[in-house]
């Protein structure tokens, strides 16, 4: 993926360099210009850090520290809030995982409909190939497929046109994003689409307006033929919140393996808590972001990111057992290293957590335990995702103070 700063390789070094180049712009420039989508190669007013943050090649805490070393909290308020949107969505979904299960069920139902409804199938295919005849929409579909990235404003416009102009099932659009976004993430994506559709903040929808698109694309696009109303979709009430897991620890005298996965490639907090593994391996689950084929760009970025992390932590982990995409080969890794336990960063609701559940069951038969400690950043932030972001954001000063910021 290229941006105004150059290519984005899936390595920690690239993530840190990219962060350093963006930091000077994270203050008032970001607040003033972040809504402008100037197209591929022109996304200089936003950070494009999301592929790195989504996989935690760089953590939210590191990004916040770098930004606050250069700007005041007031000066970088907008950027800091955006970083906390990610934490808010993750916490919200983690307390209501049924919303992810409902999305998956809705997606399967919509895919089934495309098998018998030829009009729907054609419209879906045109939208996914950027062949609807709506110039701006078609451009974004192709930008997404070619680069793995879309500006936030384009994501909003695209989702709105998908739902209210093309009248396609929202789950098919969310799935299109998850198959192509390098930052494709169960929480931010599902809840972002639900928000546009009026399912997340009940009754509040997002309507893509031609004048707004023209203004914030600097007249690259002046669309016509868009829906003029965005009636909220109907859906069930939010499920009740489930409690978040408490702190977890592990016996220090057992042979231990470190397992990395796509939701958290910064396991330093585990070493700080005394982790001393004899081997490190990676679990790749990006193919399970969708029941359909996930793009080569996404698969390649995730694999490179996992390999980079495994190589980085190898010197503190005995040996490098490689990156695996099946439970069977991971069990072989565990057994050949005579592991008694495997420690892995907590994975929030989504494909990595589902993969870890399967692994846990398979390991159980060999008397090997899987332990998933949560990092302090998540355990402090997530419990505040009880209501809307407005209430959550009041906790930001307290969350920053807890990090010493
Ligand atoms: C329909 C829809 C789908 C989306 N799907 C995803 C997704 O799959 N994965 C994903 O990471 N983000 C998703 N987003 C959120 C947002 O669009 C991206 O995080 C952001 O555009 C990433 O670009 P950036 O790093 O240049 O952002 P910047 O503007 O530079 O923001 C800095 C960081 O703040 C966080 N952030 C900013 N805006 C949001 C937001 N609205 N929600 C959550 N976090 C945010 C990201 O970590 C981002 O890297 C979606 C938004 C919408 C409207």
Sheet holding 319-324, edge to edge: 319-324, 279-283, 256-261, 341-343, 369-371
Residue among 308, 399, 394, 373 at smallest CA distance from 64? 399
pLDDT at 1: 52
**How far apart are the C-alpha atoms of 405 and 397, rounded to whole Å?**
9
Q: Which residue has the tokens 């193919």?
A: 287
- The answer to whether 64 and 400 have CB atoms below 8 angstroms apart is yes
pLDDT at 8: 77
How far lies 18's CA from each of 2, 22, 112, 175, 269, in Å?
12, 6, 42, 28, 23
Judge whether 52 is annotated as a binding position. Answer: no
Are residues 132 and 28 both part of a single domain?
Answer: no
Tally Cβ neighbours within 10 Å of residue 373.
20
Tell me, yes or no, whether 336 lies in a domain. yes
Tell me, yes or no, whether 161 lies in a domain. yes
Instruction: State the total domains in the chain.
Output: 3
Tell me, yes or no, whether 225 lies in a domain. no
- Helix-helix angle 60-70:77-94, to 10 degrees: 160
Domain C-terminal end among 216, 243, 277: 216
Q: Report the separation in Å between the CA atom of 282 and the middle of ligand 1, taken as the mean of its atom positions.
A: 25
Judge whether 376 is annotated as a binding position. Answer: no
Q: Is 97 helix (H, G, I), strand (E, B) or coil?
A: coil
CA-nearest residue, atom 6 of ligand 1: 189
pLDDT at 3: 46
Are residues 368 and 279 both part of a single domain?
Answer: yes
Are residues 170 and 267 both part of a single domain?
Answer: no
Are residues 338 and 318 both part of a single domain?
Answer: yes
CATH number, domain containing residue 40: 1.25.40
- The answer to whether 4 and 41 have CB atoms below 8 angstroms apart is yes
- The answer to whether 152 and 267 have CB atoms below 8 angstroms apart is no
What ranges in 279-393 are assigned the alpha helix state H? 296-314, 327-336, 351-364, 376-381, 389-393
- The answer to whether 280 and 258 have CB atoms below 8 angstroms apart is yes
pLDDT at 2: 52
Domain C-terminal end among 189, 216, 243: 216
Q: Report the separation in Å between the CA atom of 321 and the middle of ligand 1, taken as the mean of its atom positions.
A: 33
How would you class 113 by CB atoms within 10 Å of its CB: exposed for 0-12, middle for 13-18, buried for 19 or more?
A: middle
Are residues 75 and 103 both part of a single domain?
Answer: no
Are residues 316 and 334 both part of a single domain?
Answer: yes
Q: Is the CB of 48 under 6 A from ligand 1?
A: yes
Are residues 186 and 284 both part of a single domain?
Answer: no
Q: Is the CB of 186 under 6 A from ligand 1?
A: no
245-257 b/e (C-beta count within 10 Å ≥ 16 → b): eeeeebeeeebbb
Are residues 32 and 107 both part of a single domain?
Answer: no
How far lies 384's CA from each of 117, 159, 389, in Å?
43, 27, 9
How far lies 369's CA from each of 139, 209, 268, 274, 355, in Å?
48, 53, 21, 17, 15
The DSSP 8-state label assigned to residue 161 in this structure reads I
Are residues 210 and 320 both part of a single domain?
Answer: no
Domain that holds residue 174: 98-216
Q: Is the CB of 156 under 6 A from ligand 1?
A: yes
CATH number, domain containing residue 367: 3.40.50.620
Tell me, yes or no, whether 226 lies in a domain. no
Q: Report the separation in Å between the CA atom of 337 and the middle of ligand 1, taken as the mean of its atom positions.
A: 39
pLDDT tens for the chain, residues 1 to 405: 554 444 579 999 999 999 999 999 999 999 999 999 999 989 999 999 999 999 999 999 999 999 999 999 999 999 999 999 999 999 999 999 999 999 999 999 999 999 999 999 999 999 999 999 999 999 999 999 999 999 999 999 999 999 999 999 999 999 999 999 999 999 999 999 999 999 999 889 999 999 999 999 999 999 999 999 999 999 999 999 999 999 999 999 999 999 999 999 999 999 999 999 999 999 999 999 999 999 999 999 999 999 999 999 999 989 999 999 999 999 999 999 999 999 999 999 999 999 999 999 999 999 999 999 999 999 999 999 999 999 999 999 999 999 999
> How is 301-333 classified by DSSP, letter by letter?
HHHHHHHHHHHHHHTTSSEEEEEESSHHHHHHH
DSSP 3-state percent helix, strand, coil across the chain (nearest 5): 55, 5, 40
Q: Report the separation in Å between the CA atom of 335 and the middle of ligand 1, taken as the mean of its atom positions.
A: 39
CA-nearest residue, atom 44 of ligand 1: 86
Judge whether 30 is annotated as a binding position. Answer: yes
- The answer to whether 369 and 342 have CB atoms below 8 angstroms apart is yes
**How far apart are the C-alpha atoms of 301 and 292, rounded to whole Å?**
18
Mutate to test the pocket of ligand 1, among 86, 148, 150, 159 (most ligand atoms within 8 A of CB): 86
């Amino acid at each position: 993926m290229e941006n105004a700063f150059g290519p984005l390789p899936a390595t920690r070094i690239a993530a840190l360099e990219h962060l350093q180049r963006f930091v000077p712009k994270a203050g008032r420039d970001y607040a003033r210009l972040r809504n402008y989508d100037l197209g591929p190669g022109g996304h200089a007013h936003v950070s494009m850090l999301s592929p790195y943050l989504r996989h935690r090649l760089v953590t939210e805490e590191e990004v916040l520290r770098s930004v606050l070393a250069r700007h005041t909290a007031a000066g970088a308020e907008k950027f800091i809030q955006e970083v906390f949107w990610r934490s808010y969505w993750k916490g919200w979904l983690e307390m209501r995982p049924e919303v992810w299960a409902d999305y998956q069920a809705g997606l399967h139902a919509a895919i089934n409909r495309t098998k018998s409804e030829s009009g729907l199938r054609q419209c879906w295919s045109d939208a996914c190939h950027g062949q609807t005849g709506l110039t701006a929409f078609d451009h974004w579909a192709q930008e997404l497929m070619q680069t793995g990235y879309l500006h936030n404003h384009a994501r909003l416009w695209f989702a709105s046109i998908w739902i209210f102009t093309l009248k396609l099932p929202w789950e098919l659009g969310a799935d299109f994003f998850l198959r192509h976004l390098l930052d494709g993430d169960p929480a931010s994506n599902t809840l972002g689409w639900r928000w546009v559709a009026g399912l997340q903040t009940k009754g509040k929808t997002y309507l893509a307006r031609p004048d707004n698109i023209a203004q914030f694309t600097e007249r690259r696009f002046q669309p016509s033929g868009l829906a003029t109303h965005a009636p909220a979709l109907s859906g069930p009430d939010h499920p009740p919140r489930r409690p978040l897991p408490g702190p977890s620890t592990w016996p220090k005298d057992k042979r231990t393996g470190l397992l990395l996965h796509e939701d958290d490639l910064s396991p330093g907090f585990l070493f700080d808590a005394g982790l001393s593994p004899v081997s490190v391996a990676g679990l790749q689950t990006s193919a399970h972001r969708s029941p359909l084929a996930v793009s080569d760009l996404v698969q390649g970025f995730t694999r490179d990111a996992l390999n980079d992390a495994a190589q980085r932590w190898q010197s503190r982990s005995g040996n490098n057992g490689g990156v695996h995409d099946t439970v069977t080969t991971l069990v072989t890794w565990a057994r050949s290293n005579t592991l008694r336990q495997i420690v892995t960063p907590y994975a929030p609701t989504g494909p990595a957590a589902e993969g870890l559940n399967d692994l846990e069951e398979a390991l159980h038969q060999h008397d090997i335990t899987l332990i998933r400690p949560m990092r302090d950043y998540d355990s402090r932030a997530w419990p505040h995702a009880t209501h809307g972001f407005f209430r959550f954001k009041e906790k930001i000063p307290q969350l920053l103070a807890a990090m010493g910021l």
